[in-house]
């Protein structure tokens, strides 16, 4: 079923980059080029500025009215950045570190904790922050082994004791910078310290060679998951964190579940934001069956984010989440319920590239000067609801991540079948999260079984992830709680803490943390406060 070695390939000889760079499509030939606003930097930083999106002088409505029936779409409609601008951005592109810093410059109030901002200067800066001093630090945390380190952003409230920790994990091929609209609101919660991590082999973390040695399909899945979650556990030990709340988006949510199962006793709460891999698809988990033939994944590249956050709710998810509770439960019990945008056929060439482990980012790297143009096809739609300057900075950040050496991105076919269906679906193991035996650290310490912890599922009402999968997982977790209360020991019943719920963010899609950050942040802060209050009660009771 799996062809698992990372693959590289050569572009056909007829695809010459130089002539393409020299060409201009109709949209880019006349459209003026927007410039990135000047960002402060010191002498050690990269002063080169990216050339970003050309401004589009025609609206969608104008295009429809001016065009004849069945218009032929230009390449500019798919890739807004012109050839010349793309080549210039490729030639003068920012370093990945500087691109990340440019994104972080849009986080209000928080200041970087450096020697320059120490002491009285930090006190002066804090006067503008209504909550006092809040600082962030960027670090590369070395892990055991060769070329293994995680890029970390930590945020703390200076002068306050932090008894609780929130760790944030991004999705496939992304980076911690995409949470830039969440850092300041989440850091308002007293008693918390925040960490956002780039997963090993992604973002600005180290990018060791990715290789799977297992032969059996199940062992391949376990080894691929371990490549990421083992690094997370090693990071936890370096930071000497006993327990924490883990928030994962998309693939980060999938891996958060895997971490909870492999390393029990470390989590207070699990928050899964539009997690990939919840529902089961028989074509994805059975080697005797063909690969899935259709998927909703195409909506990641075709959904217009501005219409999602500004327009009226659309799609079956929006209808589903407003249905009576009884209808939701009925849908959750039926895995064939359609609650997401319509599925689309998976092209045969995509399935071949997927199973051959040809990373989508390798195509961007091979494209050379055309790389920024290809990336603009995603970033223009993904960020078109944001102000122009933020959209441009996020485009530059995205390109800086996508164009780096291939590493963790090669995990895709091991964990997911074409169309983003999990080969080891979360729905088949979610009920065991928080129910593992915690291995004793010493021979004198008895083994203790976990007695559950809260698990929260979040979806956007226009999410291409199936919210019914979240409701199905909620039901399985609740059934496991009932079983624990019926058959557990008296001590286990007293300590029972398992629960699950599904929350839906309005006017949001798959990237709900960025589509509607205000509502998303409010939900997360409430979950943080709930966790903190429970921790205070336990510490007060000596539990």
Please list the active-site residues: 250, 463, 510
Distance CA 354, CA 7 (A): 10
- In the numeric block, which tokens belong to residue 475? 């039901």
Q: How far is Cα 148 from Cα 87, in angstroms, rounded to an integer?
A: 32
Q: What gap in Å lies between CA 111 and CA 117, rounded to an integer?
A: 8
Using CA atoms, how far apart are residues 258 and 485, in angstroms rounded to an integer?
25
In this structure, what token pair is assigned to residue 343? 């599925």
User: What is the C-alpha separation between 105 and 261, in angstroms, rounded?
Assistant: 36
Q: Is 466 helix (H, G, I), strand (E, B) or coil?
A: coil
> Which residues have a Cβ under 8 Å from the Cβ of 370 and sit 6 or more positions away?
17, 20, 21, 83, 86, 87, 90
- Residue 525, Cβ density class (10 Å: 0-12 exposed, 13-18 middle, ≥19 buried): middle
Burial (CB < 10 A; 0-12, 13-18, 19+), residue 32, is: exposed
**111-112 sheet: strands from edge to edge:** 111-112, 134-142, 149-157, 192-197, 164-169, 244-249, 267-273, 454-460, 499-505
Please give the distance of CA 263 from its chain centroid, rounded to a whole number.
21
Residue 24: φ, ψ to 5°: -130, 135
Give the C-alpha separation, 227 to 255, whole Å: 10
Which SS3 state, helix, strand or coil, does residue 172 take? coil
The partner residues of 162 in beta bridges, in order of sequence, read none
- Type and span of the H or E element at 184: helix 183-186
| Integer Cα distance of 226 and 201 in angstroms | 13
Write down the residue that tokens 């800086």 correspond to: 400
Among 300, 296, 277, smallest CA distance to 417 is for: 277
């Amino acid at each position: 079923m799996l062809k698992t070695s990372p693959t590289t390939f050569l572009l056909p000889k007829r695809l010459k980059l130089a002539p393409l760079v020299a060409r201009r499509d109709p949209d880019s030939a006349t459209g003026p080029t927007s410039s990135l606003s000047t960002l402060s930097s010191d002498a050690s930083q990269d002063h080169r500025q990216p050339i970003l999106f050309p401004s589009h002088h025609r609206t969608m409505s104008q295009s429809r009215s001016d065009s004849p029936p069945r218009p032929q779409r230009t390449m500019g409609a798919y890739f807004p950045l012109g050839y010349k601008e793309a080549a210039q951005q490729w030639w003068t592109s920012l370093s990945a570190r500087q691109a990340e810093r440019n994104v972080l410059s849009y986080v209000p109030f928080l200041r970087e904790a450096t020697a320059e901002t120490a002491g009285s200067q930090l006190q002066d800066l804090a006067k503008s922050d209504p909550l006092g001093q809040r600082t962030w630090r960027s670090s590369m945390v070395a892990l055991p082994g060769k070329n293994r380190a995680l890029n970390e952003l930590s945020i703390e409230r200076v002068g306050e004791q932090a008894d609780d920790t929130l760790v944030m994990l991004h999705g496939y091929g992304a980076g911690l910078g995409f949470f830039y609209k969440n850092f300041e609101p989440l850091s308002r919660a007293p008693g918390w310290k925040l960490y956002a991590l780039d997963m090993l082999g992604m973002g600005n973390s180290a990018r060791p060679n990715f290789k799977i040695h297992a032969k059996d399909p199940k062992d391949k899945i376990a080894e691929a998951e371990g490549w990421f979650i083992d690094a997370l556990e090693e990071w936890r030990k370096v930071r000497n964190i006993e327990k924490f709340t883990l928030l994962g988006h998309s693939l980060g949510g999938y891996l958060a579940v895997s971490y909870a199962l492999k390393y029990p006793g470390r989590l207070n709460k699990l928050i899964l934001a539009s997690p990939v891999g919840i529902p089961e698809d028989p074509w994805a988990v059975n080697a005797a069956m063909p690969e899935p033939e259709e998927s909703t994944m195409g909506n990641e590249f075709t959904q217009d984010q501005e219409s999602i956050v500004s327009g009226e709710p659309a799609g079956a998810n929006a209808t589903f989440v407003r249905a009576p509770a009884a209808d939701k439960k009925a849908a959750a019990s039926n895995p064939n319920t359609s609650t997401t945008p319509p599925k689309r056929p998976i092209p045969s060439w995509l399935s071949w590239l997927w199973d051959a482990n040809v990373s989508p980012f390798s195509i961007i790297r091979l494209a050379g000067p055309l790389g920024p143009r290809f990336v603009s096809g995603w970033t223009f739609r993904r960020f078109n609801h944001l102000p122009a300057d933020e959209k441009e900075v996020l485009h530059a950040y995205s390109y800086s991540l996508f164009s780096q050496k291939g590493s963790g991105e090669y995990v895709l076919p091991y964990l997911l079948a074409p169309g983003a269906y999990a080969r080891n679906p979360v729905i088949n193991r979610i009920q065991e999260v928080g129910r593992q035996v915690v291995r004793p650290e010493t021979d004198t310490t008895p083994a203790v079984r976990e007695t559950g912890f809260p698990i929260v599922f979040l979806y956007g009402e226009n999410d291409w992830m199936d919210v019914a999968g979240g409701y199905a997982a909620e039901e399985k977790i609740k059934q496991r709680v009932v079983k624990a209360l019926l058959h557990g020991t008296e001590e286990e019943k007293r300590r029972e803490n398992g629960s699950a719920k599904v929350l839906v963010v309005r006017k949001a899609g798959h990237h709900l943390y960025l589509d509607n950050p205000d509502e998303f942040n409010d939900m997360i802060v409430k979950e943080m406060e709930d966790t903190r209050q429970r921790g205070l009660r336990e510490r007060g009771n000596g539990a």
